């Protein structure tokens, strides 16, 4: 085995670890529950010890390991500085310096959504491209921007926070961020269900969406694919807002490709095609007809991108 690197994706409930060769081949992967006792930083120590254990088990020396990439759920500056990880209960610190001390290995860190975008560029839906805008449609809407092969962190580590792009000045419900009319309120799984419930309340037409006791975003897409009129309206509305937000992104950074990931993207091409249709209405000619791809790495995008932080 030649030189390798680790990619770690630290989440609030689970830590994922991947061991990669320099070509992006996943050689091995593991996951374990995020410990939530003691100091929040114990999570990092736990991950560092896990790496050291695995190196011992597989006879990897420090010379074999190019480094450890880490994705974490919060803003990270280019220099590894973290202001606060609310979800993990950790305050201001430099994650790269502290984990380098713990492991004796080179460490590079990034925000989890940005890192996932890097993973999708490297080995997923954005493979072959160097400038990628990723939208992750899950419980919320996350995003990541890759320019010329590099993660754009932003001056406060908040670049690519596309879930909170303002898209609707008529919204009266409040988003988790405190504003009204954020993309996340329409294009997340939660947002899609919310749109569906509104339409089902507003209109009296029959719809197979009415048959579900706990309607999910997947159910909405399933109904839409079978031609259900109200479900199609929901999909059009969610993709309209997503298309508008992507038009804003294009006018600012002009990426080569948009990649749509997250649980909602499992609905498939109905999302990329519908979003692209609206997108084209809201960009200038030079930006029309960009590629819209589905993410392909699923929950592994984070470990791929984390490893790529080391190889970039």
Contacting residue, 13, 59, 155, 173, with a copy of itself by CB under 8 A? 155
Contacting residue, 12, 89, 154, 263, with a copy of itself by CB under 8 A? 154
Asked if residue 187 lies in contact with residue 137, where contact means CB atoms within 8 angstroms, the answer is yes
Closer CB to a copy of itself, residue 287 or residue 312?
Answer: 287
Backbone angles phi, psi at 124, to 5 degrees: -120, -135
Residue 216 half-sphere exposure, CB side, CA atoms within 13 Å? 9
Contact positions with a copy of itself (CB under 8 A) in 207-246: 244
What is the total count of residues that contact a copy of itself (CB under 8 A)? 41
Alpha helices in 167-216 (DSSP H): 184-187, 189-202
Which segments within the chain are labelled E, that is strand? 4-10, 14-21, 26-33, 65-72, 81-82, 93-94, 107-111, 132-137, 141-147, 150-151, 257-261, 291-294
By CB neighbour count within 10 A (0-12 exposed, 13-18 middle, 19+ buried), where does 88 fall? buried
**What is the closest distance, in whole angstroms, from the C-beta atom of residue 212 to a copy of itself in the complex?**
31
**What is the closest distance, in whole angstroms, from the C-beta atom of residue 248 to a copy of itself in the complex?**
4
Contact positions with a copy of itself (CB under 8 A) in 54-113: 75, 78
Q: Is 127 in the site for a copy of itself (CB under 8 A)?
A: no
By CB neighbour count within 10 A (0-12 exposed, 13-18 middle, 19+ buried), where does 150 fall? middle
Q: Is 281 in the site for a copy of itself (CB under 8 A)?
A: yes
Q: Is 18 in the site for a copy of itself (CB under 8 A)?
A: no
CA dist 147 and 132 (Å) reads: 7
Site string for a copy of itself, 243-262 (x = CB under 8 A): -x--xxxxxxxxxx------
CA dist 253 and 246 (Å) reads: 10
Site string for a copy of itself, 166-205 (x = CB under 8 A): x----------xxx--------------------------
Closer CB to a copy of itself, residue 280 or residue 299?
Answer: 280
**What is the closest distance, in whole angstroms, from the C-beta atom of residue 58 to a copy of itself in the complex?**
37
Asked if residue 142 lies in contact with residue 136, where contact means CB atoms within 8 angstroms, the answer is yes
Residues that bind a copy of itself (CB under 8 A): 75, 78, 131, 145, 147-148, 152-162, 164-166, 177-179, 244, 247-256, 281-287
């Amino acid at each position: 085995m030649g030189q390798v690197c680790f990619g770690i994706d630290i989440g609030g409930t689970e830590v994922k670890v991947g061991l990669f060769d320099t070509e992006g081949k996943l050689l091995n992967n593991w996951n374990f529950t995020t410990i939530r006792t003691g100091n929040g930083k114990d999570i990092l120590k736990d991950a560092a010890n896990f790496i050291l254990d695995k190196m011992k088990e597989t006879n990897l020396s420090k010379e074999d390991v190019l480094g450890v990439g880490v994705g974490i759920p919060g803003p990270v500056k280019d220099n590894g500085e973290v202001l606060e990880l609310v979800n993990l209960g950790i305050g201001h610190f430099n994650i790269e310096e502290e984990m380098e001390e713990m492991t004796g290995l080179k460490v590079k860190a990034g925000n989890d959504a940005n890192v996932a975008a890097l993973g999708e560029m490297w080995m997923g839906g954005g493979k072959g491209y160097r400038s990628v805008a990723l939208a992750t449609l899950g419980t919320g809407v996350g995003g990541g921007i890759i320019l010329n092969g590099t993660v754009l962190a932003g001056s406060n580590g908040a670049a690519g926070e596309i879930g909170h792009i303002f898209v609707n000045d008529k919204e009266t419900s409040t988003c988790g961020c405190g504003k009204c009319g954020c993309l996340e309120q329409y294009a997340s799984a939660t947002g899609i269900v919310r749109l569906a419930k509104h339409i089902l309340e507003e209109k009296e037409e029959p719809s197979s969406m009415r048959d579900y006791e706990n309607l999910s975003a997947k159910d909405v897409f399933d109904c839409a694919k079978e031609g259900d009129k109200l479900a199609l309206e929901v999909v059009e509305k969610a993709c309209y807002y997503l298309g508008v937000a992507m038009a804003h992104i294009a006018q600012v950074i002009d990426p080569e490709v948009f990649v749509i990931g997250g649980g909602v993207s499992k609905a498939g091409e109905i999302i990329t095609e519908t979003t692209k249709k609206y997108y084209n209405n809201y960009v200038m000619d030079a930006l029309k007809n960009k590629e819209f791809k589905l993410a392909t790495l699923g929950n592994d995008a984070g470990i791929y991108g984390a490893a790529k932080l080391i190889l970039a």
